[in-house]
Amino acid sequence: DKSPTSPVGGIFHRLSNLRKSAPRIKKRSMSKKLSFSFDKEEEITEIFQIKDTEIPSKPCSVSQIREYIKTDELKQAYVNLLSLRLDIQQKRGALEEGASDVDLVNKETDIRMLFDTLKNKIADIVRSSTLQSVNKELLAQVVTIVLEENKKSEMMLGWMEMWRNAVRDGVRDTLKKVHLDKPEQNTSWLAVHLGLLGKAVEDDLKRVKAELHSSYPKDFNVFETYVSCYNEVVEEHSKELLEKVTEAKDYYTLLDFIIHRYPSDLRTEQGAVKLEQDFLNKIKNAYFDRVMEDFKAALKNIIILERDEVWKTKKTPDRTDDGFLTSHVNMDICQLIASYSRQLIEIDENHGKLFVRFSLEELHQFHKRFEEEFRQHTRSLLTSDLLDLYLWVNYHITYINTFLLLKEQMQCYRESCLTEVVQLEKDVDEVTQRLRQTLMDHFKTDIKPYINGMMTKKWIKTDEDFTEVTSRIESYSGLCKSMRNPASQIFVNDVHYYVIKEYVAQLMKKKYSCKNTKNEEAADKMRTQWKELRKLFQEMGSSLDWLYPLGNYVSDIIGMENEKSIKDILHPLVSDYPDISKKQMSAVLYFRDNGFSLERHQVINQFNLIKRDTGNIIHERSFFIDMEVFCSFSLH
C-alpha cells in the first residue's frame, strides 16, 4: 500500500492538464473555495494529545473496556487499554526468566482482542465519516488514538495505514451507492451512472474539505488522502465498468469522463494517484477497435440503404440546386469520418489521426463493393422500358458525381494522410472511369445500327439514320448537364470523338461508291450533317476543336470535280491528321469515284509525297491510326 502522502501523480493531476485545452469545461478556482486553512493548527495540536495524568493507575475490567468501545467512548477505552498494557508489561518484567503466568497470558490475549476491536471500531467511524454528519469529538478521539499508537510503534504505517484503508473503504461505500442501470435497461446507462458518480465524488470531497479537514492535524494530509483513495477506487470501478462496455458510445463516455469530466477541480497537485497508463491505453485501444468495426459496418450499411431504398424501389435521384444529380453517399462517408475522428481526437490525438488513415484505406474496399452491388442490382433496368433505361443512365451519372465529390471532400486530409488520399484519388478515378465507360458503351450500342446505315445509297436519299443519331446525341447532351466536371468534359469529348470517328469510318467499308454526279450530292449531305454535328458538340462543350476541320476536308475531296483541287486539300489534311494512311485515303477516293481511276492514282501519288515529307513530324493527336479499312482499293 502507498502512503497517503505518496507524491505519485494521478487521475486528478493528469486529467487536469488535459482539460486545460478544453474550452467547453469551465475550470473553477479551487484556491478560493477549497483552500487549506491551518489557522487553528495549535489548537488542534493541543486536542490531539494524551496526558500521562489521564491514564488510570489501575485499568478497569475487560468487559468495561469493551463496553466503552461499543458506546463510542473511545478515549476512555484507550486510556484503560494503555493502563492495562502497562500493567501487563510490569508483571511480565517481574517474572523470573522462563517463568509463566496463566493469568498474564490471558490478559495478553484480552488486550490483543481489545485492540483489534478498537481498530475495527475506529475503521468503522472513519469509513462512515463522509456519509453522515461528523461527530468532531468522536473523530478527535480517533485521531488521538491513531497518533498515540504511531508514536509507540517503530512501524509507522500500522495505524496510519489502517486509517487510510478505512478512508478507502468509505470511498468504496460511496461509489457503491451510486445508481447503475444494466445496459439492456437503459441505452444511456453509463452516461447516467458516470454523471451521478462524478457528482458523488465532488460532494464527498467538498464534505471532506468543509467538515473533516479541521478535525485532523496537518500531518494526516486528509484531503490529499481522500483524493488519492478516490483515484484508486475510481480506477477499480472503471475496470469493472469496462467489462460491461461493448459499444463505441460507451467507450467514449468512459474515456470522456476520465479525461474531461472527472471533478479534477476538487483536487490538489499533491497526493493524486496516477491512473495506470496500461489501463488507460487498454480503454483507448478498445475504443479505437470498436470505432473501426462500427465504421466498416456503417460503410456496408450505406450500400444496403442504397440497394433497398434507391435501386430496388427505382427511386429517382435527387438534384442539387445547380442541377447536378446527387446522392447522400459521399456526405454520409464524410460525416462518419469527421464524427468518429473528432471524438477520437478528443480522447487521444494520435488515435484520431490513425483512424483517418485507416478509414481512407477502408474506402479502397468500399468502392469495389459498392460498384459490384450497384451493377448487380441495376442490371435489370436495361430493358426496352425507356423510363427504366433513363433511370439506369441517371444512376450512373449520380454515382460519378458522388465519387467525384468524395474525392474533393477528402482533400482536407491530404497533408496528414498523403499516401492514403493519393490512393483514394486513384480509386475514384478508376471507378468513375468505369461508370463513364459503361455509359459510353451503352451509347455506342444505341447508335451503332444508325451509324452503320450511313455512306450508303439509302443515306444519300434520306436523313432517317442520321436523325436517330443526332436524337440520341441530344439526349445524352441533356444528361451531361447533370454530370459534374471533369467527368462531364471527358464524357462529352468521348462521345464527340466516337461519333466523328464512326462517321468517317463508314467511308472505309466499301458500302457505296458514288457514280456520275452523286459525289457532289454526297458531299453536300456530308457537309450539312457535319455542320449539325459541329453545332451539337459545341453546345455540349466539347474541347476537341481539332476534329471540326476533318469534315470539311473529306466532304471537299468527295465533292471536287478535278484532280488539282483535291491535291490542294491534301496538304492541310495530312498536316492536321498526319496518321491518315494510304489505304484510308484510297477509301475516301473510292467513295468519291466518278469513273476517273487515273486521277485517283495521281492523287494517291501526291498524297504519298506529302506523307513522306511530313513523316518525321511528331503529332500529339491521332485519329486514323486504328481505323480499319475493310478492303484494298485498286489504284488503276
Confidence of residue 335 (pLDDT cuts 50, 70, 90): very high
**Is the confidence at residue 46, as pLDDT, over 50?**
no
293 and 418 assigned to the same domain: yes
227 and 314 assigned to the same domain: no
Q: How far, in Å, are 126, 533, 566 from residue 210 at the CA level?
A: 16, 91, 110
The answer to the question of residue 246 being in a domain is yes
Which of 576, 465, 622, 444 has its CA nearest to residue 529? 465
233 and 351 assigned to the same domain: no
What does the buried/exposed string (b/e) look like for 262-276 if buried means 16 or more CB atoms within 10 Å of the residue's CB?
A: bbbbbbbebbbbebe
313 and 205 assigned to the same domain: no
Output phi, psi for 481, to 5 deg: -70, -15
83 and 148 assigned to the same domain: yes
The answer to the question of residue 181 being in a domain is yes
Q: Is 622 left (phi over 0), alpha (psi -120 to 50) or beta?
A: beta
The answer to the question of residue 357 being in a domain is yes
254 and 332 assigned to the same domain: no
The answer to the question of residue 533 being in a domain is no
**pLDDT on residue 1:** 40
Domain final position from 391, 425, 451 = 451
What is the mean predicted confidence (pLDDT) over 237-247? 91
Residue 394 belongs to domain with CATH number: 1.10.357.50
How does DSSP assign 133-161, residue by residue?
Answer: ---HHHHHHHHHHHHHHHHH-S-THHHHH
245 and 352 assigned to the same domain: no
User: 278-308 pLDDT, tens per residue?
Assistant: 888 899 999 999 999 999 999 999 999 999 9
The answer to the question of residue 536 being in a domain is no
Per DSSP, the three-state class of 237 is helix
| 227: containing domain | 11-275
263 and 311 assigned to the same domain: no
The answer to the question of residue 513 being in a domain is no
The answer to the question of residue 596 being in a domain is no
Domain final position from 404, 432, 451 = 451
Task: Select the more confidently predicted residue: 629 or 131.
Answer: 629
**Is the confidence at residue 256, as pLDDT, over 70?**
yes
250 and 292 assigned to the same domain: no
28 and 90 assigned to the same domain: yes
What is the mean predicted confidence (pLDDT) over 405-411? 94
User: 162-179 pLDDT, tens per residue?
Assistant: 999 999 999 999 999 999
309 and 380 Cβ atoms separated by less than 8 Å: no
Q: What percent of the chain has pLDDT over 90?
A: 54
What is the mean predicted confidence (pLDDT) over 127-154? 82
The answer to the question of residue 505 being in a domain is no
Output phi, psi for 27, to 5 deg: -90, 125
How does DSSP assign 595-611, residue by residue?
Answer: S-HHHHHHHHHHHHHHH
DSSP one-letter code for 380: G
Number of domains in the chain: 2
**pLDDT on residue 275:** 67
